[in-house]
Amino acid sequence: MNAVTFARTVRRARPLLGTLVEVGLCVAPGGDDATLLSACDIAFDAIAAVQRGLSRFEAGSDIARFNALRADGWLDVQADTRIVLAAARQLWSDSDGVFDVSLGSAPTGWRLREGRLHKLHAAARLDLGGIGKGHAVDRAVQALQRAGLAGGWVNAGGDLRGFGGATVELKLRDEQRGGVVDFGRLHDGAFATSCFAAGARSSLSAATAARAHAHVSVAAPSCLMADALTKVVAASGNADHPLLERAGARAWLH
């Protein structure tokens, strides 16, 4: 990509996805603030739409409606739900069951087929908290790119994606001394860091959640994959897990 000169950046934040979501946009010389603020709203709207469909806390979401179904019930689901569940099912298979959006309730108790989500077992409950936030960030970036933005980033509580001509400084919390430390720079990609407290819901199977490594970072082409792979690496304790190479990703244990 050719070098891009930016005069400054515009940042806006809004509470979404159970955290504070920041949108940063790089401003070319002569850039119009009103246009940029409108673009920020586009990104926030994209994230809110994903939240409405995927959050188990939203009564009308696809996930909440699935969780309320009886066995053998089904429902038509929106595109975001299909994308995330298809990725989750593949990750479950590829990780030998470590990544589990049913949180151990019934890993094989649900099926996605032709846009319909079927409940195969009464105990099946889904929680996309370990992958959905990354997808929401991807959707926001896609919305900004469609709007013609030259560069920027979206950061949802540690799930970060930069695009275009933007370079984003990566900083990690220093657990020993407090504050933050410089970690690197991100350009045109995604980076996620997850911290795993004992008993936390994290899309890890019940058998592996208790022994998960406390802090994991993953860089990947998409934020969905970076977000999800932090859970796989945390459970395995393997920063060279085979899934990373397949996804074009890299991991760090802290």
- Residue-wise pLDDT tens digits, 125-154: 999 999 999 999 999 999 999 999 989 999
For the whole prediction, is pTM greater than 0.95? no
Three-state SS at 44: helix
Residue 132's nearest CA partner among 90, 176, 82, 97 is 82
Give CA–CA dist 251/227, Å, rounded: 11
Q: Which residues contact 187 (CB under 8 A, 6 or more apart)?
A: 162, 166, 167, 168
**Below-70 pLDDT ranges, the chain:** 1-7, 29-31, 174-176, 178, 196-214
Strands (E), 94-179: 110-113, 116-119, 151-156, 159-173
Note every long-range contact of 145-153, with CB atoms under 8 Å and residues 24 or more positions apart, other chains counting.
Answer: 147/39, 147/42, 149/25, 149/26, 149/39, 150/4, 150/6, 150/26, 150/28, 151/4, 151/6, 151/25, 151/26, 152/9, 152/23, 152/24, 152/25, 152/26, 153/22, 153/23, 153/24, 153/186
Give CA–CA dist 143/252, Å, rounded: 29
Residue 150's Cα: distance from chain center in Å?
22
Would you state the pLDDT for residue 199?
A: 46
* Torsion on CA atoms 62, 68, 73, 78, rounded to nearest 10: 0
Going by the DSSP 8-state scheme, the letter that residue 246 receives in this structure is H
Spell out the domain ranges in the chain: 8-53+133-253, 62-119
Would you state the pLDDT for residue 138?
A: 98
Let me know: does 47 contact 55? Beta carbons within 8 Å: no
CATH of the domain spanning 8-53+133-253: 3.10.520.10
Over the Cα atoms of the chain, what is R_g? 18
Would you state the pLDDT for residue 3?
A: 44
Q: What is the mean pLDDT of the chain?
A: 89
Would you state the pLDDT for residue 37?
A: 87
Six-digit token pair at 60? 């009308």
Residue 93's nearest CA partner among 196, 205, 194, 210 is 205
How many CA atoms does the CB half-sphere of 178 hold within 13 Å?
0
